[in-house]
Amino acid sequence: MAGHPVEASVGNAPVGGYGAGHMTFTHFWHTMAWPLAKLLGSLAVSLLAANLIEALNWTRFLARFARPLIRAGHMKDVVGASFSVAFFSGMAGNTMLAEAHQQGTITNRELFLANLFNSLPTYFLHLPTMIFITVPFLGPAAAVYVGLTFGAAILRTLCIVLAGRFLLPVPTEECIECRLPGRGITWREALDKSWVRFKKRITRICLITIPIYALVVALDSWGLFSKAENFMTDHVGFMDWISPKAFSIVVFGMAAEFTAGLAAAGALLHGGELPVKEVVLALLTANILSTPARAFRHQFPYYSGIFRPGLAAALIAYSQAFRVSSILLMTLGYAWLG
């Protein structure tokens, strides 16, 4: 990420010579300005490409794989249609389930299983953005993190299919494709939509990334991580499996949002301060601890507009508990086998 291995390192800033008040321009350029400029440039290109992929609905071809899964899980056609639609609109997929539930087409049990089943297309819906944002921050380590979260999504899907096979009767109807929307989107419409979303997202990402990246560099050069290590050894023994530097990724990921944790992870990873395994475990830990509350905050308003408030809260709670369990299992497996 930086051209000079010593001066560009986050952790190699000489406290006595290049301290916060005496940093030379060369040191600042190689440790802060140039790495951050390359990072934001890569993010801008990647984010625009991700928005275009999502706007064009290129993930829609995955809908053809719904039929064998639906049959294996003894689910009805409306569940298969919701699953397929959720590949490009999670809200549309849930709306179909809500209407079917209100009409008595599916039971409470089928509704909960179908909502959990839709976690895979929801994951795929945001996968392009996740890939194009994590790669500039993490480099090759992004493949490990994304791969583990992808494995968790696949595990959830297989568990729901297995549960449906044992808990649900064999349906007699089958018509998955008949409920799919037909009209696509033109390139012009996709570009316009992508550009509008890009301008909003890139501004927010920059506002988060720049100060977080600068803060991590400054904290390390001031020796704060060394002090935190001593404090953690004396007072936070139950978290001694996470190093102080990796713990900062968890803190930033919980205090702000996913991008903040990535910014901290990128600064430490590219500075050679942490190995890939510690960075990935810290990001997974932040994911487990922070996402449920954020998901409830973002999902509950529109869930309540589709389902009854009590049912909406229950659906979100079950969904997040299931998601956290799957990611926790993948995290423990990676910590043990990785």
Quick check: is 3 in a domain? Answer: no
Quick check: is 102 in a domain? Answer: yes
Burial profile 80-110: b = 16 or more Cβ within 10 angstroms, e = fewer: bbbbbbbbbbbeebbbbbbebbeeebbeeeb
60: helix, coil or strand?
helix
At 5, which amino acid appears?
P
Contacts of 217 (CB under 8 A, 6+ apart): 10, 13, 31, 32, 267, 271
Quick check: is 148 in a domain? Answer: yes
Mean pLDDT by 10 residues, the chain (338 residues): 37 40 66 76 75 65 69 85 80 82 89 93 86 87 93 94 91 57 70 84 77 73 63 51 74 71 83 83 85 74 79 92 94 85
pLDDT number for residue 318:
94
At 224, which amino acid appears?
L
As for how many domains the chain has, the answer is 1
Give the tens place of pLDDT for each residue, 167-196: 998 877 555 555 555 556 778 888 888 888
CA–CA distance, 159 with 176 (Å, rounded to integer): 21
Quick check: is 241 in a domain? Answer: yes
pLDDT number for residue 4:
40
pLDDT number for residue 20:
41
Quick check: is 4 in a domain? Answer: no
- Which residue is it, tokens 């190093």? 243
20 contacts 114 by C-beta, under 8 angstroms: no
pLDDT number for residue 56:
73
pLDDT number for residue 328:
93
Q: Which domain holds residue 150?
A: 46-337
Phi, psi for 260 (deg, rounded to 5): -65, -45
| Token pair listed for 216 | 């991590």
pLDDT number for residue 147:
95
Quick check: is 1 in a domain? Answer: no
pLDDT number for residue 317:
93
Quick check: is 117 in a domain? Answer: yes
Q: What's the burial of 59, exposed, middle or buried (CB within 10 Å: 0-12/13-18/19+)?
A: middle
258 contacts 134 by C-beta, under 8 angstroms: no
Quick check: is 6 in a domain? Answer: no
Give the tens place of pLDDT for each residue, 120-162: 888 988 888 888 888 888 888 899 999 999 999 999 999 999 9
pLDDT number for residue 107:
92
CA 138, 144, 150, 153 torsion: positive or negative?
A: negative
pTM: 0.70
47 contacts 135 by C-beta, under 8 angstroms: no
CA–CA distance, 204 with 202 (Å, rounded to integer): 5
**202: nearest Cα among 28, 319, 49:** 49
